[in-house]
Structure 1
Amino acid sequence: MEKKLTREEKATQTRARLLQCAEELFIEQGFVKTTISQIIKRAGLGYGTAYVYFKNKDELFVELLDELMGQFYDVAERSFVPKSVIEAAECIKEQVGMFLTLAQKEHQLMRVLKEARGASIVIDQRWSEIREQFIHRISVDISYAQSNGLASRHLDPELIARGWFYANEMFMWECVTGECRYSIAQLREQLTDIYMNGLYIK
């Protein structure tokens, strides 16, 4: 006998179905052309049902974005406790490579994000918040390196973190759109060298 789903389990399934269908349509049509009605139709749900979970497509996309960014946060949150400048360089190089590789791998949804930021104040604001989370994490790593005598103490951790993130973000978008003229291996090496030479003590 098939187990009867609880109300909570049904709600979880319905929400997941909406998110799955929304992602499919966003990737197929782009953010602007996709409507909440199309998402509801593909999910096979009653028109009012979707609005129990999301009030509009912006909210749907923000949830997809947060799920996607969880993978990027996993890279950013990797343990950073180097004992030497050489060890720090290896950690940073690995993070840069993983960050750009992940962006390339998830290029379809990332392209939708690029479009959505120009079409939705809500999504653009969420991306700004996400940026700040990454910048804060980088500044924590810089402060660690400074306090352990690996990096120059006169530099402002947040300022350097902001510049470092923006440099990586620029190449991230180029990797996503296929416009980048460099391989990820080249970017990983060159960006790390610039960062290390400017911040760390030889």
Structure 2
Amino acid sequence: MDNSKVGDKRHLRSLMTRHKLLEVAKEIFLEEGFQAAVISQMIKKANIGYGTAYVHFKGKEDLLIVLMENIMEQFYEIAETSFFPKSKDEANHIINKQANAFLKMAEAERNMMQVFEQAIGISTVISDKWKAIRMKFIQRISKDVVYAQQNGLARAELNHELVAKGWFFTNEMYLWEIVRNEHQSSIEEIAQTITSVYFEGLYL
């Protein structure tokens, strides 16, 4: 018997088990919320042996972290938009488009984001994960600010890391407001307003 084929089958089965557990975990988190969700309930519903399940995930926090990474990756793709503007107008257009897409994503993923917000407030592990996600965004924004400064589009005397933090925290504040469905204005208006304030403060 070909050992590589056996290995491939085992690997495929392992991936399928992991995927099944994540799917079921998502369902249960959405039904129960983070606090009430129990991993044993997830394992039972996925119809997977306990031993097998614990090979993949140590607990419900592990499961939620993967679900968080999957969703935040979509947000991060927005932050990764190519940023090489040749003019102020072009920079303004890209930034406004990013802010809009970022906040629209919060609306699209509202239900799962509500579970994340609950978990961030309860679990240190999830809270630390969120801090790491936040830092990834801030570093990316910081890179864009440096590009604008080096190309004479933005004020060079400003600390790019502080500017990046300020911009991300503004977006994050509105993100959670949208997740809670507490926003009074349209997403377009919010994006336009925060972009204008940020842009006028940073760009020459």
Q: TM range, normalised to the smaller chain?
A: over 0.9
Identity within the alignment, %: 46
**2:54 matched to 1:44?**
no
Counterpart pick for 2:87 among 77, 84, 87:
84
Residue in 2 that maps onto 1:125? 128
**Counterpart Cα distance in 1 of 2:122 and 2:192:** 35
1:141 matches 2:169: no
1:56-97 C-alpha deviation (Å, 9 max, x unpaired)? 110111011111111011000000000000000000000000
> Residue in 2 aligned with 1:10?
13
1:45 deviation in Å? Answer: 1.1
* Higher helix proportion (structure 1 or 2): 2
Name which of 106, 124, 134 aligns with 2:109.
106
Cα deviation for residue 188 of structure 1 reads 1.2
RMSD over aligned Cα atoms: 1.2
Please, what TM-score do these two structures have when normalized by structure 2?
A: 0.95
Tell me, in whole angstroms, the C-alpha distance in 2 between the residues paired with 1:14 and 1:143.
44
Question: What is the TM-score of this pair, normalised by structure 1?
Answer: 0.96
Question: What is the identity, as a one-letter code, of the residue corresponding to 1:39?
Answer: M
Secondary structure of the 2:35 match is coil
- Counterpart residue number, 1:168: 171
Which residue of structure 2 lines up, in the alignment, with residue 70 of structure 1? 73
Q: 2:96 matched to 1:93?
A: yes
- Counterpart in the other structure of 2:157: 154
Which residue matches 1:180? 183
Output the amino acid matched with 1:184: I
Structure 1 Cα separation of the partners of residues 142 and 49 of structure 2:
47
1:118 Cα deviation (Å)?
1.3
Give the letter aligned to residue 74 of structure 1. E
Distance apart, 1:47 and its partner CA: 2.1
| CA distance, structure 2, for counterparts of residue 150 and residue 193 of structure 1 | 15
Instruction: Indicate the SS of the match to 2:157.
Output: coil
Task: State the shift of 1:48 in Å.
Answer: 2.0
Query: Structure 2: 5+ residue runs without aligned partners?
Result: 1-5
* Count of matched residue pairs: 199
Q: Which amino acid aligns with 2:193?
A: Q
Shift of 1:49: 1.8
